[in-house]
Amino acid sequence: MSNLDLFLMMDDGRPVPKAPRIGEIRTKVALPPSRLPGLDYALNPYVGCQHDCLYCYAPYVTKRPRTEWKTVLARTDLPQALAKEIRGKKGTIGLGTVTDPYQEAERHLLITRRCLMEIVPHGLSVSVLTKSDLILRDLDLYKELKGEVGITVTSVNDDISRMLEPGAPLPGRRVEALRKMTDEGLNAYALIGPLLPLLTEKDIDQMVETLSSTGIKWVMLDRFRPRPGMFDDIARRKDGAEVAEKLENAHRAEDYHGLESLLRRKFSEKGLRCVNAF
């Protein structure tokens, strides 16, 4: 591993955690099989994620220490490895199954974009998921690909997003990205995942109203699944104790089926289909 001496800045004018240095990691397998339903392969240009969502369970799944999750490692050789492995393959590639393929590092390194350029001539479908409107940079390529483009929106409340997704673009930018992608004729959807137990009925109403206005035809729902140790990890962060307590209490108290049914009913009233994630 060597260091690429890049300094990362968010571009929406709000304070962000200190930008990490980015390391490089060599690609062993570019297109491992995916166990997620509907996906044949997984493609992850980065290890770790600067979006730093407090509810992220990827570190627990990948067994990377939670404290190191924000330290991003870039698979800079991934486009070349992909070019070799993709020949003869068919099916759907899940882009960003473990980390966000449009985190800020991508603005500088363009690994995701170069991978898409390798995929286009081979005709495989791509199912991408991100929290960043940087995805709009690659609209030209998504228009040539089959598949779906997903943006995660867990609420449209900036305060909730700042608290739980401190390094990610604010919800308004994600909503505008969805609008732009549907305007361009792409099969765009919002992943409401995790469905946060903190949400009130007013939050749900605002989210349903806002997302319905983007022109998307469907949303995907994923439940909040705290991993063992997650609340303790959140509490150990600077100023994290209060957030951990709030989230844990809401999780314990919430009638989850009630929240989920409410969301489904409200989206259905707007004519949007709800599907379950994974």
CB of 79 or CB of 193, closer to ligand SF4: 193
| Minimum distance of ligand SF4 from residue 31's CB (angstroms) | 19
| Minimum distance of ligand SF4 from residue 5's CB (angstroms) | 23
CB of 53 or CB of 105, closer to ligand SF4: 53
CB of 131 or CB of 266, closer to ligand SF4: 131
How would you class 242 by CB atoms within 10 Å of its CB: exposed for 0-12, middle for 13-18, buried for 19 or more?
Answer: exposed
Rounded (10°) angle between helices 201-212 and 256-269: 30
71 neighbors 20 (Cβ within 8 angstroms): yes
75 neighbors 112 (Cβ within 8 angstroms): no
* Cα–Cα distance measured from residue 256 to residue 266, given in angstroms and rounded to the nearest whole number: 15
Binding mask 118-157 for ligand SF4 (x = CB under 6 A): -------------x--------------------------
* Cα–Cα distance measured from residue 41 to residue 20, given in angstroms and rounded to the nearest whole number: 29
Binding mask 91-120 for ligand SF4 (x = CB under 6 A): --------xx--------------------
Q: Is 230 in the site for ligand SF4 (CB under 6 A)?
A: no
Q: Is 233 in the site for ligand SF4 (CB under 6 A)?
A: no
Could you give the 3-state DSSP secondary structure of residue 235? helix
**207 Cβ contact partners less than 8 Å away, ≥ 6 residues apart:** 153, 155, 156, 192, 199, 263
CB of 100 or CB of 148, closer to ligand SF4: 100
CB of 76 or CB of 130, closer to ligand SF4: 130
* Cα–Cα distance measured from residue 169 to residue 179, given in angstroms and rounded to the nearest whole number: 16
| Minimum distance of ligand SF4 from residue 185's CB (angstroms) | 26
Among 22, 42, 56, 153, binds ligand SF4 (CB under 6 A): 56
Binding site for ligand SF4 (CB under 6 A): 49, 51-53, 56, 58, 99-100, 131, 168
